[in-house]
A and B are shown apart, each in its own frame.
Chain A
Amino acid sequence: MIVIVDDEERYVRPYIDELKETGYEVNVQTDVGAAEQFLMENLADVELLVLDVMMPPGDTMSQRETHHGLRTGMYFYRTIRTLALDLPIIVFTNVVDTEVFDFFNAEASTNCWFYRKQDLLPFELAEIVQRILFGRSHNA
């Protein structure tokens, strides 16, 4: 299962549709609190996470920590990494904040990939997901 965490489902609908057409089961979480709960309960079934950055912090994170929602994905990433060190995570965002970019760039060698939405069409995302999951199953 691929889990997509993004509060604006409408904008990632084409990506969701393409991943489904490619044959993946896709679960969409639009609220970070619910997403965290879902991942904790279903971690064994999750093969890959696609994560947005700019999202409302919800009830589980503070406005201040997440810079009023501008960096919620960063905070969520740190939380998930404590649960799943080797879960592949694709950070998929429109945010152009250099601090966000530097953070995820530093994570690049640890099962983390950073892409801007405007740089990837739906089939391109699907190809990247295929490559990551194929590489993992091959290594396993």
Chain B
Amino acid sequence: MNDELKRVEPSGDLSSVSFGESCLSDGLSLIAEAAVRCERLEHLLHELVEVVRNLVGEPVCLLHLLDNDRNGFAVKAFGLPEGQTVNTESLFIKSDGADVERLFELNDLIYLRDAVSGNLYSNVEVISRYGWKSMLATPLAVKDGARNTRIGILQVLSYPQHLEFTVRQRHQFKALGLHASIAIMTWRRLNRFLELSQMMREISEEGDIGKVFKAVLWNALRLAGASRGWISRLNPTTGLLDVRVHAGKPVATWLEKVGEGITGRCVEQGTPIVVDDVLSDEWRGLYRASWPETRSEMAVPIVSRARIRIGHKIRFAPKPLGVLNLESPTVGAFLEVDRDSVWTLARQAAIIIDKLELDQKLTKLAEVQKQLAGKRDWDELLRIVPYAIKILGYEYVNISLVDSQSKRIRTMFVTGIPEEGRAEFMRMADHALDSEDIQADIVRTARTEVSDGHDRRFDRDIWERLGHGEMIRLFVPITAPPGKRVIGTVEAGYGKGYRKFIYEQDVQLLRNFLDYAVLSLEPRTRRLLQLISHEFSSSVVGIKSNVAFLQKRFGQLDRDRINTKFDDLMLDCDVLQVQIEALHQAFGWTSTISKRERTVVFRDVVIKTIMQLRPVARVAGLDWQRIEYDKRDSHRIHLDVDRAKLNQVVYNVLTNSIKYAEPEAEHFRIAIGVNEDDALFIITFRDWGIGIDEKYAEKVFEEEFRAPEAIRKTVKGAGLGLPIARRIMRDMGGDLVLTGFRKPTEFQLLLPKSLSGGKE
């Protein structure tokens, strides 16, 4: 610091020194009052200097405070004779001088009749240059816990004459110094609380973990009066402490592990470690230098208190997140008050970091949840659920489902075990529901449990083979609907090494996710079941009622009416078959059995379906003979196909054309044609019905979608026909595409010629 300083006029006779008891007590009162009144430290220090100068009656008063970063004492307040200025930097006092040791170790003041004879200052010429003659210096220190804590040095110097200070005056000066020390410490404690509140408010407003780290480090350095430090984040899997933010340009940063070094020990024990001298015998081997000049260090754990699950009960436990590390070239730089306030800051930071990490997990889980929409069954869900579980930090995941027919529970998906052992594991992880195995027990009790040791319910073979003794594991029942019947379990876990617990927050996140996954299946399942069961019921009622009518009235009916009833019966049977296939497709049960047989496609499938749908057209008031095709196409397209499935495709396409025909019967027309190219047979279905808006060209093939025109047409539809038809065609290697939108609406059935087996 190189500044022009304020001139302070001394009071009293410069040639004599006398401060009586009443003056001293007044001065001490002023000092105590200033400690509470002053809002800023520099105001307090200047008031102290004023009081000292007025009491002692000498013009020169210097108040040095300990500078942790420079291992010495810098002038922070002063009073000078009129007309005099000084470069405060030249008055810096190093900590390692003999006089400094005497001041603090012996707690003794220094009186020098001739100030230049001492070695408080490394450069005593500065004293003579200013013309200062005699010096009285006292330490500013308090007991902080078990040790004497250095705060600074208070001096008065005579000018322009030498002075004799009596013993009494020296004692009184020492008392001034002691009270000044107390005043400074009192101010620091009072204002520390206000500072901390402000700092915690600032930190809590940060929305990013990196910014929280920076804010914590910066504020911790301010609190401790230091400029060097770093924060590292704990990786709970490896136990490594990875430096995320630093200040003061360290020459090296170290990847320490929990339990190693000063910071690693700090994380392990969960409380701060304050080292007065890293070069002492106790700490020498442990300290790893980030700055070569470091003498004192303070490591503070960043740890929150979190709810954990043990068994099925909830407890509280520490959750270590990282460590804050401050260093100083000054021995004993960090006081108890520094430790306490930085620790308070670190605990607040831990709460905020925990919350921000929870927000991150929720955001990632929400992204995974979006993928659940449209999933049809557990097979599809099983491909997504593990991603969610991994977001929560689990390394091992085992998803088991109940087979209610065989009354067993078996693994459907596992990750986190070696690939070569997976098949064997899945064979072993298959237990009867009435067994003692933990999976069966969870199904019975529907309890969520955490286990980190051996449990008599564990399969001993699996436990030993997979090293489950080294893991902590969570077991969550999957219930459908949520809270009701248990349909499976999720087992998730990780190595116990550096993560001793499973936190309740992660348990609840997993449970909520599983409930959501199950719920995402439920409404679709329920609605589809309602629609499809209605179709089934209608067909069965149709068959029964037609049979009953024929039984009662057979003799009264003419041949045409009887044939009409038989057509209706055949159609209802065909509809039942179609609905069974729709049920399979809707729930993703694709049949592995495909009965391929040589088929003359146009005759055996297309024309046959037209005949099947005659009753449907008739009931709709439409003339089925307005379904046109070229008779020469009857014998075209010889392929090896699954006739029933292809029939389903043509049935769905033609049914739509009938359902969505224009109300006026004379407008009803369907035209079916055949084309081919090198690779494909193309059967084209054109109708002149209500049409499809071009923007829904692909959506009509999505399950449960119905275009607005279709909904307005007031016919029932589940929106499954076209998606099922396309899926069947694609499974065959072909496709179903919409190539015309309105008058005509045109669908093309694409059949690969490769299905002919080389023959036509």
Residues of A within 8 A of B (CB): 7-15, 17-18, 21, 31-33, 54-59, 63, 69-70, 94-97, 117-118, 121-123
- Which segment, of B98-106, B174-182, B257-265, B535-543, faces chain A? B535-543
Shortest beta-carbon contacts, A-B, top 7: A94-B537, A14-B545, A121-B548, A56-B714, A14-B549, A10-B619, A117-B541
In this complex, which of B533, B541, B553, B615 has the most chain A Cβ atoms within 10 angstroms of its Cβ? B541
Q: List residues of B (524-539) whose CB comes within 8 Å of A's CBs.
A: 530, 533-534, 537-539
Q: Is the CB of B548 within 8 A of A123?
A: yes
Give the residues in chain B near A118, CB-CB below 8 Å. Answer: 537, 540-541, 544
Q: Is the CB of B549 within 8 A of A11?
A: no
Task: Tell me whether B370 is interfacial, beta carbon within 8 Å.
Answer: no
Per the CB 8 Å criterion, the residue count for chain B at the interface is 29
Task: Tell me whether B595 is interfacial, beta carbon within 8 Å.
Answer: no
For residue A9, which residue of chain B has the nearest CB?
B619
* Partner of A13 from B552, B619, B712, B716 at Cβ < 8 Å: B619
27 contacts between A and B (CB under 8 A): A7-B716, A10-B542, A10-B571, A10-B615, A10-B616, A11-B539, A11-B541, A11-B542, A13-B568, A14-B548, A14-B549, A17-B553, A56-B714, A56-B715, A56-B716, A57-B714, A59-B712, A69-B716, A94-B534, A94-B537, A95-B530, A95-B534, A97-B530, A117-B537, A117-B545, A121-B544, A121-B548
CB distance from B540 to the nearest CB of A (A): 6
Residues A8 and B714 in contact in the complex (CB < 8 Å), given A97-B530, A122-B545 = no
For residue B535, which residue of chain A has the nearest CB?
A94
Q: Is the CB of A11 within 8 A of B538?
A: yes
Docked complex Cα distance between A33 and B615 (Å): 25
Q: List residues of B (594-652) whose CB comes within 8 Å of A's CBs.
A: 615-616, 619
Residues A94 and B568 in contact in the complex (CB < 8 Å), given A18-B549, A57-B714, A70-B530 = no
Give the residues in chain B near A13, CB-CB below 8 Å. Answer: 546, 568, 619
CB distance from A125 to the nearest CB of B (A): 9
Task: Tell me whether B711 is interfacial, beta carbon within 8 Å.
Answer: yes
Give the residues in chain B near A58, CB-CB below 8 Å. Answer: 714
Docked complex Cα distance between A95 and B537 (Å): 9
For residue B550, which residue of chain A has the nearest CB?
A14
Q: Is the CB of B716 within 8 A of A21?
A: no
Q: Is the CB of A10 within 8 A of B568?
A: yes
For residue A30, which residue of chain B has the nearest CB?
B714
**Interface residues as binary, B684-708 with A (CB distance below 8 Å gives 1, 0 otherwise):** 0000000000000000000000000
Docked complex Cα distance between A12 and B615 (Å): 13
Docked complex Cα distance between A32 and B530 (Å): 21
Give the residues in chain B near A31, CB-CB below 8 Å. Answer: 714
Q: Is the CB of B541 within 8 A of A94?
A: yes
Docked complex Cα distance between A97 and B544 (Å): 22
Q: Is the CB of B546 within 8 A of A14?
A: yes
Give the residues in chain A near B530, CB-CB below 8 Å. Answer: 70, 95, 97
For residue A60, which residue of chain B has the nearest CB?
B714
For residue B663, which residue of chain A has the nearest CB?
A31
Give the residues in chain A near B553, CB-CB below 8 Å. Answer: 17-18, 21
Q: Is the CB of B548 within 8 A of A55?
A: no
Give the residues in chain B near A69, CB-CB below 8 Å. Answer: 716
Give the residues in chain A near B537, CB-CB below 8 Å. Answer: 94, 117-118
Give the residues in chain B near A10, CB-CB below 8 Å. Answer: 542, 568, 571, 615-616, 619
Give the residues in chain B near A96, CB-CB below 8 Å. Answer: 533
CB distance from A114 to the nearest CB of B (A): 15
Give the residues in chain A near B616, CB-CB below 8 Å. Answer: 10
Docked complex Cα distance between A58 and B713 (Å): 7
Give the residues in chain A near B545, CB-CB below 8 Å. Answer: 11-12, 14-15, 117, 121-122
Docked complex Cα distance between A11 and B568 (Å): 9
Docked complex Cα distance between A17 and B552 (Å): 12
**Interface residues as binary, B538-577 with A (CB distance below 8 Å gives 1, 0 otherwise):** 1111101110110011001000000001001001000000
Docked complex Cα distance between A95 and B533 (Å): 9
Docked complex Cα distance between A12 and B619 (Å): 11
In this complex, which of A15, A17, A57, A58 has the most chain B Cβ atoms within 10 angstroms of its Cβ? A17
Docked complex Cα distance between A97 and B548 (Å): 27
Docked complex Cα distance between A119 and B571 (Å): 21
Give the residues in chain A near B713, CB-CB below 8 Å. Answer: 56
Docked complex Cα distance between A54 and B716 (Å): 9
Give the residues in chain A near B619, CB-CB below 8 Å. Answer: 9-10, 13
Docked complex Cα distance between A51 and B566 (Å): 26
For residue B556, which residue of chain A has the nearest CB?
A21
Docked complex Cα distance between A11 and B713 (Å): 19
CB distance from A119 to the nearest CB of B (A): 9
For residue B542, which residue of chain A has the nearest CB?
A11
Docked complex Cα distance between A121 and B542 (Å): 10
Give the residues in chain B near A95, CB-CB below 8 Å. Answer: 530, 534
